[in-house]
């Protein structure tokens, strides 16, 4: 039998709720049609924001939203997205599908969206094609109370109070679409740009440097060596592909080998985070600087017949397993990982929500975020797993992935059985504690299952296939390809 031992007396610290953050870019149908339909739309909305989508994000307690990109961020000029909509500048979104961007969703709309969701805004500003002045004035526009021309513009646009935006990204993928810079050059640029991003009033900016992609350890080393004192956090991007960047594989048509390949690639996140953390430790042993994985998730070939630049993909139980693996990794590294943003919220890549006209579908990945929401701002709890192996000849892995936390006398364990076809009998023990009560919820299905418009077979269900044994342990009978949340009340 598999065994999970929880020890509430051993913890790496608090699981920052921002680990459960999301990412929304001006890409395909993420912003337009996905989050924003405009006030004139027949689709129910409040000030242009889709009511169904906002409500769904509130249910999973989405704590934070990153915007406006992605690659789009380094071509975005914030002044184009303020003022009367009819006079806003039009541009062609050269990164994503060559479509016309009319800038009808800009700074004020993004702040309104965050307010409706009840989440923190994280703005990723332009270094690649912007200027220091442009960035500095965006911060001033958002956060200053001073009677300057920039702030007067905000007043004129209907907002008297400052927005007090805290999370501030200085460039995106500056090693690639954000300017093809060398780490040495970007480190200097970061130091320069962040200098002029001022703190206004009591609002202290949380300055986020552009970090590496997956295994680019040199980028991390150089940034930490040259710019550590100037940053509050540094980013990491990692996408899980089934194939390679030329042929990424289908989201829905795959065999068991592809299933395990994707899961094992998702598990590589642990290696990347561990190795980057070690480099950061050299320069920041007290872990003052956070690691922010502000783009993660699966990336497949687009759904047949859809715009290749829109990155629209379906989302199966395989994606739910990727989410479970990844979020458990982040929870377990909560002493360094302070934020993460799944790419991307609606209709793009590993979306939690898909829309088609006025219809909305919640993906299996959405339900994983629902199952994990109790971890937000809870104390991480040591979670020791001994389990069987699963996988195939090429991709072997532990059958279980798990993490745990404690809040207000309740312990939450999230555990996934990664096997495509074998159940997992699992004994759970909580060291030195007595159990007062247990409840559980589960998401499970065949690995190819997904939710579509008018057909939603995958949803969270109450889970009852467990028993509390005489020795105080809990025996779970986890079905194949499942993610469970087990809540234990302590005496
Ligand atoms: O999420 C899609 C793209 O992936 C982002 O725009 C970019 O930052 C990354 O390469």
pLDDT of residue 461: 98
The predicted-structure confidence for 16-26, as pLDDT tens digits, reads as follows 999 999 999 99
| CATH number, domain 14-377, options 3.20.20.80, 3.40.50.1240, 3.40.50.1980, 3.40.50.300 | 3.20.20.80
Gap from CA of 144 to ligand 1 centroid (Å): 30
Structure tokens, 398? 């532990």
Nearest CA to ligand 1 atom 7: 70
- Confirm or reject: Cβ of 294 under 6 Å from ligand 1: no
Cα torsion angle, 401, 290, 406, 9, sign: positive
Bridge partners (DSSP) of residue 123 are: 67, 168
pTM of the entire predicted model = 0.97
pLDDT of residue 153: 98
Which one-letter DSSP state was computed for residue 350?
Answer: S
CB-based contact 411:428 (threshold 8 Å):
no
The Cα 484–Cα 448 span in angstroms is 18
- Confirm or reject: Cβ of 343 under 6 Å from ligand 1: yes
Nearest CA to ligand 1 atom 3: 70
Which one-letter DSSP state was computed for residue 65?
Answer: E
Percent of the chain with pLDDT over 70: 100
Average pLDDT over residues 42-51: 98
The predicted-structure confidence for 134-184, as pLDDT tens digits, reads as follows 999 999 999 999 999 999 999 999 999 999 999 999 999 999 999 999 999
pLDDT of residue 387: 97
The predicted-structure confidence for 318-349, as pLDDT tens digits, reads as follows 999 999 999 999 999 999 999 999 999 999 99
Average pLDDT over residues 385-411: 97
The Cα 425–Cα 418 span in angstroms is 13
The predicted-structure confidence for 422-469, as pLDDT tens digits, reads as follows 999 999 999 999 999 999 999 999 999 999 999 999 999 999 999 999
pLDDT averaged over every residue in the chain: 97
Domain pair 14-377 / 381-490, same fold: no
In terms of DSSP H, where are the helices of 333-397? 364-372
Structure tokens, 48? 């242009």
Nearest CA to ligand 1 atom 5: 70
HSE-up (13 A, CA, CB side) for residue 99: 15
pLDDT of residue 432: 93
Structure tokens, 430? 């909580």
Q: Where are the domains of the chain?
A: 14-377, 381-490
Structure tokens, 160? 């008297």
The Cα 453–Cα 440 span in angstroms is 28
Average pLDDT over residues 243-251: 96
Which ligand 1 atom sits nearest the alpha carbon of residue 95?
A: 6
The Cα 57–Cα 60 span in angstroms is 5
- Confirm or reject: Cβ of 301 under 6 Å from ligand 1: no
Percent of the chain with pLDDT over 90: 100
List all residues 6 or more positions away from 210 whose beta carbon is below 8 Å from its beta carbon: 127, 169, 170, 171, 172, 173, 174, 175, 178, 186, 190, 234, 235
Residue range 381-490 forms a domain whose CATH class is mainly beta
pLDDT of residue 127: 98
Average pLDDT over residues 308-325: 98
pLDDT of residue 15: 98
The Cα 232–Cα 73 span in angstroms is 20
Average pLDDT over residues 406-416: 97
Say whether 57 sits in a helix, a strand or coil: helix
């Amino acid at each position: 039998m598999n065994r999970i031992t929880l020890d509430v007396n051993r913890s790496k610290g608090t699981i920052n709720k921002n680990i459960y953050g999301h990412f929304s870019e001006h890409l395909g149908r993420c912003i337009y049609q996905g989050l924003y339909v405009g006030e004139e739309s027949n689709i129910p909305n409040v000030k242009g924001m889709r009511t169904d989508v906002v409500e769904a994000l509130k249910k999973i307690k989405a704590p934070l939203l990153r915007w406006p990109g992605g690659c789009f961020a380094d071509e975005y000029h914030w002044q184009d997205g303020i003022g009367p909509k009819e006079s806003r500048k039009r541009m062609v979104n050269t990164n994503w599908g060559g479509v016309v961007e009319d800038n009808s969703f800009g700074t004020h709309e993004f702040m309104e969206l965050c307010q409706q969701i009840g989440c923190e805004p994280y703005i990723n500003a332009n270094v690649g094609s912007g200027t220091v002045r442009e960035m500095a004035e965006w911060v001033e526009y958002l956060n200053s109370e001073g009677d300057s021309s920039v702030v007067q513009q905000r007043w004129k646009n209907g907002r008297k109070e400052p927005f007090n935006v805290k999370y501030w990204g200085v460039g995106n993928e500056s090693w690639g679409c954000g300017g093809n810079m060398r780490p040495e050059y970007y480190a200097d640029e970061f130091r320069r740009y962040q200098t002029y991003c001022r703190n206004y009033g009591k609002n202290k900016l949380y300055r986020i440097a552009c970090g590496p992609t997956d295994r680019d350890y040199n980028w991390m080393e150089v940034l930490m060596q040259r710019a550590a004192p100037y940053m509050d956090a540094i980013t990491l991007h990692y996408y899980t592909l089934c194939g390679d960047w030329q042929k990424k594989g289908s989201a829905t048509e795959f065999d068991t080998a592809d299933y395990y390949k994707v899961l094992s690639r998702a598990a590589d996140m642990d290696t990347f985070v561990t190795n980057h953390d070690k480099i950061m430790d050299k320069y920041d042993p007290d872990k003052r600087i956070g690691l922010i994985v502000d783009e993660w998730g699966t990336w497949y070939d687009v759904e047949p017949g859809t715009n290749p630049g829109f990155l629209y993909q379906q989302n199966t139980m395989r994606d739910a397993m990727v989410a479970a693996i990844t979020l458990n990794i982040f929870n377990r590294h909560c002493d360094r990982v302070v934020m993460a943003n799944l790419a991307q919220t609606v209709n793009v890549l590993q979306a939690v929500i898909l829309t088609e006209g006025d219809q909305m579908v919640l993906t299996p990945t959405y339900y994983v975020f629902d199952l994990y929401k109790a971890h937000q701002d809870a104390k991480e709890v040591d979670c020791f797993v001994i389990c069987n192996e699963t996988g195939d000849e090429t991709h072997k892995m532990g059958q279980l992935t798990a993490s745990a936390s404690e809040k207000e006398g309740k312990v939450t364990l999230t555990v996934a059985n990664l096997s495509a076809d074998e159940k997992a009998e699992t004994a759970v023990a909580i060291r030195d504690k007595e159990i007062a009560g247990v409840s559980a919820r589960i998401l499970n299905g065949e690995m190819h299952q997904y939710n579509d418009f008018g057909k939603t077979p995958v949803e969270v269900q109450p889970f009852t296939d467990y028993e509390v044994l005489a020795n105080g342990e809990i025996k779970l009978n986890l079905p194949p390809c499942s993610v469970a949340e087990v809540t234990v009340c302590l005496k």
